Structure 1
């Protein structure tokens, strides 16, 4: 995949995907190291789980951003404050899937994206325990471990697996919609990790992934770019396109338009 050159703050940033990949891999390796040495687990404001591995990954990312993207503002999950700057800016999820990770599961990942005026333009997703690297760039496609991804017409919904994130923030109407989706499809998976669910969609295991509420921009910048570049469809769960000027957001991603139409019709 060819790499783009972009202008940001007067600095020429070269080989954007390679730089993001380097940072993501280093963060993933650091997370695994901290896990081997022993995790410290705590709760953030709002009851979300945070671990010493999240914070260690954040330190790796800040150092990497300083080397490769010194002039770009950053929006990361573990930052003290969250606000959307004027683009271009970087978005990072230091450890997506902290909850399953903290329970000893391998359903977690690291995601980094560059966002410009039109949305995510470059994205990297690393799933260290699965040995998976996903890279995507606007107009240049998506690859998994170097192999191009091309989503297309899938199975009948009744023969399709879907993934959905289930959490305590779901409202009754959203629960009802998810129940209708489950009834229309073969089965449901819930990793509680956007990176893993997106990878399984890109790999052809799933036909649809949805997070109705509770997600953030760092959860969906890479998934939205990767699925779109692979030929799939992405939208806001309540309808309409995705917007990148706010932190809270949801995502519905599908392998083809027919599955997106199914979601819209529920």
Structure 2
């Protein structure tokens, strides 16, 4: 059990916000010279790419956390984990939306979460192209820069635009039933290439919600904290070893969430 008082947790929250901005600015410097980056593919999935920028920004973030909180664990998309079982775990994606990043689109971000004793308590998503820092900490509300945010007030999917995402880690059969139900009920959707950023948009009320049949923890956890602290509802992402295996992500306001949950093929906890 981690023995951390509230001041210690808030210190980490403030540090996470500042670190996300500084890491995001470093990523943006690479973005401006992206035509000179070395690009690799992860495994056999040609859509799953990684650049020198991803690796160098993650190295920067990891080293800063190690300097400030050497007792904490770290889980990064590019470097893996130094101690996934640590009571305090920083979970980081230096660039969520790498394909968008490499192709000159603005829909990418840096995402970061802090998990304490198995509970996500801090979520931060930084969009350096628009200088937008979405941040939340348990009991402190959810914010966009210095303004509080809340979910969209839609009571049906026809009341706004739904964010959706998918990947080749799941089959079409896992995703298409939700999309079909959404359209059948008069809804519309957007997929921008960054699940972490769309989750943050949902917490801020720009989208009516977000659904993806499988997300890795470095992309899924920040939006869950943001939505919960904004006053919305989410599934229990950490159920069934979510940190190790990933899980679906569903989030929306408390009125709309039960409707969306009915359309998800796999049961959500």
Fold in common (TM above 0.5): yes
Q: How many residue pairs align between the two structures?
A: 255
Match of 1:21 among 17, 21, 26: 17
**What residue in structure 1 maps to residue 40 of structure 2?**
42
Distance in 2, matches of 1:149 and 1:180, equals 28
Distance in 2, matches of 1:88 and 1:23, equals 17
CA contact (8 A) 2:20 2:111 kept: yes
Q: Alpha-carbon deviation of 1:209?
A: 0.4
Render the CA deviation track for 1:227-250: whole Å, top value 9, x for unaligned: 00000111159xx96865424222
User: Secondary structure, in 3 states, of the residue corresponding to 1:140?
Assistant: coil
**What residue in structure 1 maps to residue 93 of structure 2?**
93
Q: Alpha-carbon deviation of 1:212?
A: 0.4
Distance in 1, matches of 2:51 and 2:89, equals 25
Residues 153/159 of structure 1: CA separation in 2 closer, same or farther (3 Å cut): closer
Alignment of 1:30-179 (within 5 A): 30-37=26-33, 38-47=36-45, 48-80=48-80, 84-151=84-151, 153-171=153-171, 172-179=173-180
CA contact (8 A) 2:108 2:197 kept: yes
TM-score (structure 1 length as normaliser): 0.86
CA contact (8 A) 1:119 1:244 kept: no
For structure 2, the 5+ residue unaligned runs are 264-269
Residues 83/14 of structure 1: CA separation in 2 closer, same or farther (3 Å cut): closer
Q: Alpha-carbon deviation of 1:167?
A: 2.6
**What residue in structure 2 maps to residue 188 of structure 1?**
189
TM-score (structure 2 length as normaliser): 0.85
State whether structure 2 residue 216 is matched by structure 1 residue 206: no
CA contact (8 A) 1:161 1:185 kept: no
State whether structure 2 residue 242 is matched by structure 1 residue 252: no
Residues 261/93 of structure 1: CA separation in 2 closer, same or farther (3 Å cut): same
Q: Alpha-carbon deviation of 1:170?
A: 3.4
Render the CA deviation track for 1:88-122: whole Å, top value 9, x for unaligned: 21111111111211111111111122101241112
**What residue in structure 1 maps to residue 258 of structure 2?**
261
Residues 52/207 of structure 1: CA separation in 2 closer, same or farther (3 Å cut): same
Alignment of 1:218-257 (within 5 A): 218-235=218-235, 244-254=242-252, 256-257=253-254
Q: Alpha-carbon deviation of 1:13?
A: 6.4
For structure 1, the 5+ residue unaligned runs are 1-5
